[in-house]
Amino acid sequence: MTGHVLAVTGTSTDVGKTIVTAALVAAVADAGLTAAVCKPAQTGVAPGEPGDLAVIDELAGPVATVECARFPDPLAPDTAARRAGMDQLDPDGISAAVAALSAVHDFTLVEGAGGILVRLADGLTLLDVAAATDAGVLVVVPPGLGALNHAELTVGAIVARGLRPAGLVVGSWPADPDLAMTCNRTDLPRVTGVPIVGVIPAGVGGLDPADFRRRAPSWIDTDWLRRESALPPTATSFSPTATESSPTATGFAPKVTDFSTAVPSAHPDSQSTEGVHS
């Protein structure tokens, strides 16, 4: 088999990519499909310490994972490699790891570091990885002020490279959203031409793993997931839909009130390492 590859990027660091990736793993499993996760570069973590893949495995696993490289400083991977005197990431090694995972899984999720143009190595970004692995690109966005500009810039970079934006996911939706957040739920699809396909409640990284797995499928648009699983693995076409002016254009509009129930404050030991272990 040759499964589907989705590159998970963010509009910046600390937007919730790791928790989104865990939620996707759980949603894929709930749909009766298999998922694997590749982390090309883990930074800010010492050898032997748990990184982002450990968070994903704990919350949504067991799941097959591959970490291609690890650098001790919490910096962009190319800079972290230089500071540590370590070899830069090998693009062919990343492609080989993704190919091995996608050969035996329905979905392979490739979690990037920070935003789409962060250098994984000299001259290498997640755009290059997505192009080399025929991946759609899922963009994790924050809910508040600044999200529109950053999301439009990110989607623009993806489209300019000839890649397919697979959707937007709001990485951390609070129980009491402010005006900007509420407006962004409508405006993000309008300004980017890309639908919101998931909304992750704030604090769910602190849920008991069994509870996380049970709830996570409700945070992801199941119709979108079915459409993704039906796409040819090498599909790259993208047609912006500027008329999609609200989240309900995709048939998916989670109620904010649903997110305010039974979602405890995140335990410090269970939160995503996003932003430190980029």
- List residues with catalytic annotation: 39
Separation CA 52–CA 78 (nearest Å): 18
d(CA 169, CA 217): 13
Cα distance between residue 143 and residue 196, in whole Å: 11
For the chain, the residue count is 278
Non-local CB neighbours of 13 within 8 Å, separated by 6+ positions:
113, 114, 115, 274, 275, 278
- C-alpha 188/C-alpha 224 separation (Å) is 17
Nearest alpha carbon to residue 247 among 229, 228, 221? 221
For residue 269, give the nearest of 183, 182, 181, 209 by alpha carbon.
209
- Check: CB of residue 194 under 8 Å from CB of residue 155: yes
Cα gap 235→136, rounded to integer Å: 8
- Of 163, 186, 171, nearest in space to 246 by CA: 186
